Structure 1
Amino acid sequence: MSAWKTFFVSLFVCFSVLNIYQANFTTRKYPKSVSSADLPQEVYVHRTTPPPVKNPYSLTTIEARLGYYFPYLKDDPVEKNIFQLWKTSDLDDPTLFKPEWEDLIDRWKKANGDHDLMLYSIQEAENNVVDFLRPTVPEVVDALRLLPHDRLKFEFLKFLIIYLNGGVYADVDTINIKPIRFWFNSPMSPTKFWLGVDTDYNAADWSDHYLRRLTFSTDIFRSKAHHPMLGKLIARITYIIFTQKDLIKSIDWDNAYEVTDASGNPTIQFTGEFILTDTTFEYINTLPDSVLFTSASNDDLSLTGLSKKIYGPDVKDQKFSYKKFTLLSNPVQINDLAILPKVSFNGYESEERDKFDDDGTRSGWEGFYYARSKKLTGWSLKELKAISN
């Protein structure tokens, strides 16, 4: 078996496809489910028990250690930071930084004057997370430094920077349409994590083009510092790096990143959209006492003129799957984690629609258009044209 096939099988074993049913409701409280995640917050906040001994070959141990040293203070406000990351932070470096990207960065600054914006090089971001993690959870630092390709580090660092500091992550080639202060925040329960749908190909032949029926974007996302979903994600990536390190080193990653599905997602990956998507589904499906907040319009696709037929794999036995988030017209929130419709971080295909909403007055579908990638870097996912409803 080739190294690539072995790696793909290994990842498949590490995180299986997550399935669920679809229900018709606006708010529902689910009964407590058995889960190894999410120890009571008071255990972490007040540190009434010592952390587990370091073991990078135990997924649950890594996750528990992150939760212990970086407690999630869910009642505190989301940090007003914007982080951007690229190969260099030198705007005057013409070989690595395109002039038009500076305009996009300035737009994020001007539209969000109440936020601090930080542009890091990969090395600067690594130094930042090492300062936090080396004294506490050094196995995550060791995992980061085992990565053999800068793009792997780039993708992992997105999650690490936001987990440790909180705020918005946005690639340098993204354009901000609506200021962050106008982004969705649930009136029922304060939102602490924002993810946008990236690919959502609703057609019978979806599996001929995509490796996931639906994915969430890593171009732009927002989170409260120390959110347990990011803790789970970081633990999983760290675990994979340690348990698959020889295989990871054996892969020619320059070539691997060229082999993609129709979304532009590499077919072999463990730091990008696929693992974010899989871990998100695992997280929300193992939440104790989960509560879902949605809108009636999400169940009435006739409002957008879309077909009501949902295509995709047959899923059973879990609360949340792609069926709950496909063809969204409004955000959906599970506890404090919001899933935004595709328009939120993908926008429209025509640049003529990129008109700023600085006063936050747009409503309906257009009111949820917050930002999008302009696909200007060599590492941006460039989706192949595929038509679905």
Structure 2
Amino acid sequence: MVKARRPSSKRYIYVVLPLAILGVWLWRFLNNPGATDLQTILQNLPKEVSQSIDSVSQQKQDATIVEMFEKLSVDLLQKQDEQLRKFEKERRALEKRIQDLRQPATHATLREKLAHMFEYRASQRFPAFVWQTWPYSDTDDRMDSSLQAFERHWGDKNPGFVHEIINDDTASALIHYMYASIPEVLDAYDILPSTNLKADFFKYLILLARGGVYADIDTDPLQPVPNWIPENVSPKEIGLIIGIENDANNPDWKSSFVRRLQFGNWIIQAKPGHPVVREVVARITEITLQRRSDGELRMNLRNDLNIMGWTGSGIWTDVVFTYMNDYVQSGILSKITWKEFHKLDVPKLVGDVLVFPQTSFNAPDKDIKDKNKALHFARHSGLKSWKAAPKVAEEN
């Protein structure tokens, strides 16, 4: 009979020893109050497993953070848009309230009303507007191809500007809105006997209220508006930019012009509320109302001199010289006459009025050699639309 063999003691060692170690580890783990901490558990795991868990956890955390930021960004943009719309609505309401509060005193003179409603701030920038007038819409068939090209050129050469073509109906609506608190101006505008006189008056009215550039529809820009101001002159020093219309060399100039030297009004750049523009608005208003009182509203509108002296370059020239010779307004001590601008070939700053040579806003049609070609800013066709007006006999 064969006796059963006893298990080897080594086998017991191989089985019992790991179990003992595991038991000790579990006893320490269960009795360690900090062992439940995730970081402690991870430290006791094999290095590769720990790194894998860390990587997955980090990716999830990053994805969560990105998602949170995206949602936050969308929420912020929505809130910003809502805030902007709210601010714009409040701005418009505030602007309307300010306009209502800026009502001039009932006892104020015409000039006091204009100065109160349209304050002049010399340090402000020239507004980026280009204003033009045309009796009909800019797509009307009656605007020929050359005028359509000129109109496009103003927009193309000044992309940062607001370019507006104002027809007769829109002009009337704008004037009645902007000058609602100055009935004398509205009265004068409404009783002007022709659309051409109203178009002339409109250019001053829009420049006084809004500023910017006014350009007749028959002008063709050669350079952008920002190029007009010389580099050695600060825009803050300038409030009005004009050009010479005529510098007479012949003795019979009175047959064609009101003044020997006249400033043009087919292109004007002004800051809102400028005193020269304000004064010409006041004078045209007074002259028109006086003509009605005297029964002289009807006149021959085909006569250049009548237009020039009423709303055109004649009265414009007189007001400019009056301003230059008013020390309180212009700061000029010496007397300024037409001789100051006779044969002018470079820009001249008088007070805050920058005057350009005759060819600056009436450049030659052909590309000629001219040492002052850099000062050629626009061409003027001089269509004189009032020539088509019916001839009216002047009343005695």
TM-score in terms of structure 1 length: 0.67
Corresponding position: 1:111 with 2:153: no
- Asked if the contact 1:80/1:116 (under 8 Å) is kept, the reply is yes
Measure the CA separation in 2 of the matches of 1:268 and 1:162: 19
- Asked if the contact 2:245/2:358 (under 8 Å) is kept, the reply is yes
Measure the CA separation in 2 of the matches of 1:199 and 1:161: 25
Structure 1 residue 248, shift from structure 2 partner: 5.9
Structure ranking higher on relative contact order (CA contacts 8 Å, 6+ apart): 1
Partner residue in 2 for 1:258? 302
Letter matched to residue 62 of structure 1: L
Corresponding position: 1:100 with 2:136: no
Partner residue in 1 for 2:15? none
Letter matched to residue 315 of structure 2: I
Partner residue in 2 for 1:170? 215
Out of 185, 195, 217, the position equivalent to 2:264 is 217
Letter matched to residue 340 of structure 1: F
**Which residues in structure 2 correspond to 1:287-298 (within 5 Å)?**
287-288=327-328, 290-291=330-331
- Asked if the contact 2:302/2:386 (under 8 Å) is kept, the reply is no
Structure 1 residue 100, shift from structure 2 partner: 2.0
Identity, % of aligned pairs? 27
Structure 1 residue 209, shift from structure 2 partner: 4.9
- Asked if the contact 2:330/2:352 (under 8 Å) is kept, the reply is no
Corresponding position: 1:80 with 2:125: no
Partner residue in 2 for 1:148? 193
Q: CA 1:268 to 1:371, structure 2 compared with 1: closer, same or farther past 3 Å?
A: closer
**CA deviation vs aligned residue, 1:17-48 (integer Å, no higher than 9, x gap):** xxxxxxxxxxxxxxxxxxxxxxxxxxxx9xxx
Measure the CA separation in 2 of the matches of 1:86 and 1:267: 18
Q: Which blocks of at least 5 consecutive residues in structure 1 are unaligned?
A: 1-44, 56-60, 293-316, 356-362, 382-389
Structure 1 residue 102, shift from structure 2 partner: 1.1
- Asked if the contact 2:284/2:310 (under 8 Å) is kept, the reply is yes
**CA deviation vs aligned residue, 1:221-272 (integer Å, no higher than 9, x gap):** 11011111111110111111122214465524xxx23234xxxx44774111
Q: CA 1:247 to 1:122, structure 2 compared with 1: closer, same or farther past 3 Å?
A: farther
Measure the CA separation in 1 of the matches of 2:256 and 2:266: 21
Measure the CA separation in 2 of the matches of 1:140 and 1:175: 31
Measure the CA separation in 2 of the matches of 1:153 and 1:276: 15
Q: Which has the higher helix share?
A: 2
TM-score in terms of structure 2 length: 0.66
Structure 1 residue 205, shift from structure 2 partner: 4.2
Letter matched to residue 160 of structure 1: L
Partner residue in 2 for 1:378? 385
Q: CA 1:117 to 1:323, structure 2 compared with 1: closer, same or farther past 3 Å?
A: same
Q: CA 1:339 to 1:183, structure 2 compared with 1: closer, same or farther past 3 Å?
A: same
Q: CA 1:380 to 1:79, structure 2 compared with 1: closer, same or farther past 3 Å?
A: farther
- Asked if the contact 1:291/1:334 (under 8 Å) is kept, the reply is no
SS in 1 for 2:137: coil
Structure 1 residue 64, shift from structure 2 partner: 1.4
Measure the CA separation in 1 of the matches of 2:374 and 2:137: 32
- Asked if the contact 2:208/2:277 (under 8 Å) is kept, the reply is yes
**CA deviation vs aligned residue, 1:259-299 (integer Å, no higher than 9, x gap):** 34xxxx4477411111101111111111327456xxxxxxx
SS in 2 for 1:346: coil
- Alignment length, in residue pairs? 286
Measure the CA separation in 1 of the matches of 2:241 and 2:387: 20
**Which residues in structure 2 correspond to 1:1-389 (within 5 Å)?**
51-53=104-106, 61-91=109-139, 93-94=140-141, 96-134=142-180, 136-185=181-230, 187=233, 190-207=237-254, 209-247=256-294, 250-252=297-299, 256-260=300-304, 265-266=305-306, 269-288=309-328, 290-291=330-331, 319-348=335-364, 350-353=365-368, 364-376=371-383, 378-379=385-386
